[in-house]
Amino acid sequence: MLLADKICIITGAASERGIGRATARLFAAQGGRVIILDLDGDAAAAAARDLGEGHRGYACDVADKTACEAATKRVVDEFGRVDALVNNAGITQPVKTLEIDAASYDRILDVNLRGTLYMSQAALPSMKAQRAGSIVCISSVSAQRGGGIFGGPHYSAAKAGVLGLAKAMAREFGPDNIRVNSVTPGLIQTDITAGKLDDAMREKILEGIPMRRLGDAQDVARACLFLASDLASYTTGAVIDVNGGMLIH
Ligand code: NAD
């Protein structure tokens, strides 16, 4: 078991077909105790129950610093520590540069980037205290290639910000034995992309993916497992692409 007895917080893991939920299932299967944080507390609790005994699901808007602190305190009060945090909660919006209004900019940046900062700030003191921890930040290929398929430029900017934030935290907290890494998924079939892809569009996208398939949530979950576990014991500040070759550096 790669995560035996590890206390693992995963944000945005209530969505049934999402990357967070697949990661929660894989972490639980590897012995981790999973705490799902999502907007809807009932959905988060139901998702946690679905994982089996001993897991938890709480309401938490990651863009709300007080909520992040309160949810993390609940975890530390009950389990004594946080071993791993997966900053997965995210939203996108398919608009062009000239269409981005102030409210959309705030919304996209707040959930994807501010949320990553606030949840990391909430979890880091516990990780520092035990001189161990792993933070995994879900960015996107959109950050690396100037747009993915569905995200607007503000989404690319937010996800690029996540990469910079994760690298800076990796440098700052390396001395505390806390590793911080990012995952950059390509096009993954989840609710974020559901219903937005017709056959012609799909064919065109597949031509640009050497592995000739879209990703699924488990593909990303496996990269998160590697980074959260001791398999990645000397890996920090890294960016792991999970994109089927859509972008090769
Ligand atoms: P999803 O919509 O299935 O899941 C996102 C989850 O985040 C949902 O459960 C939602 O309720 C939750 N959430 C939204 N706002 C929140 C907030 N303020 N606080 C807490 N939770 C919140 O989407 P997904 O495709 O599984 O996306 C997961 C992550 O992967 C996101 O960060 C997304 O940007 C990223 N990503 C997805 C793809 C893709 O193709 N699906 C590609 C690259 C990156």
Residue 131 in 3-state DSSP?
coil
Q: List, in order of start, the domains of the chain with CATH numbers.
A: 7-241 (3.40.50.720)
**Distance of alpha carbon 248 from the chain centroid:** 21
Kindly give the number of the ligand 1 atom that is closest to the alpha carbon of 62.
Answer: 19
**CB under 6 Å to ligand 1: residues?**
11-12, 14-15, 18-20, 38-39, 60-63, 88-92, 111, 115, 138, 140, 185, 187-188, 190-193
94 C-alpha to ligand 1 centroid (Å):
14
pLDDT confidence of residue 89: 98
Which residue has a Cα nearest atom 39 of ligand 1? Answer: 188
Phi, psi of 39 (to 5 degrees): -60, -45
Beta-carbon contacts of residue 101 (< 8 Å; ≥ 6 apart): none
Is 234 a catalytic site residue? no
Contact 207, 150 (CB under 8 A): no
Using the mean position of ligand 1's atoms as its centre, give its distance from the Cα of residue 131 in Å: 29
The pLDDT value given to residue 142: 97
Q: Are 138 and 77 in contact (CB under 8 A)?
A: no
Report how far ligand 1's centroid is from the alpha carbon of 175 (Å).
31
Q: State percent of the chain over pLDDT 90.
A: 93
- Encode pLDDT of 129-140 as tens digits: 999 999 999 999
Q: Which atom of ligand 1 is nearest to the CA of 151?
A: 34
- pLDDT on residue 149: 82
Question: Structure tokens of 47?
Answer: 């998702």
Q: What is the mean pLDDT of residues 20-29?
A: 98
**What average pLDDT score do residues 58-73 get?**
98
pLDDT digits 0-9 by tens, 173-210: 999 999 999 999 999 998 877 777 888 989 999 999 99
The model's pTM is 0.98
Can you tell me which atom of ligand 1 is nearest the CA of 16? 3
Closest CA relative to residue 19, chosen from 199, 189, 247, 238? 189
pLDDT of res. 198:
86
In this structure, the residue with its CA closest to atom 10 of ligand 1 is: 12
Q: What percent of the chain has pLDDT over 70?
A: 100
Write the Ramachandran bin of 55: left for phi over 0, alpha for psi from -120 to 50, otherwise beta: beta
pLDDT of residue 150: 84
Residue 204's Cβ-side half-sphere holds a number of Cα atoms within 13 Å equal to 6
Does 96 have pLDDT greater than 90?
yes
Burial class (CB in 10 A: 0-12, 13-18, 19+), 84: buried
Q: What is the arithmetic mean of pLDDT over 118-126?
A: 99
Per annotation, catalytic residue among 105, 118, 155, 234? 155
Cα distance between residue 23 and residue 18, in whole Å: 9
CA 167 to ligand 1 centroid distance, Å: 21
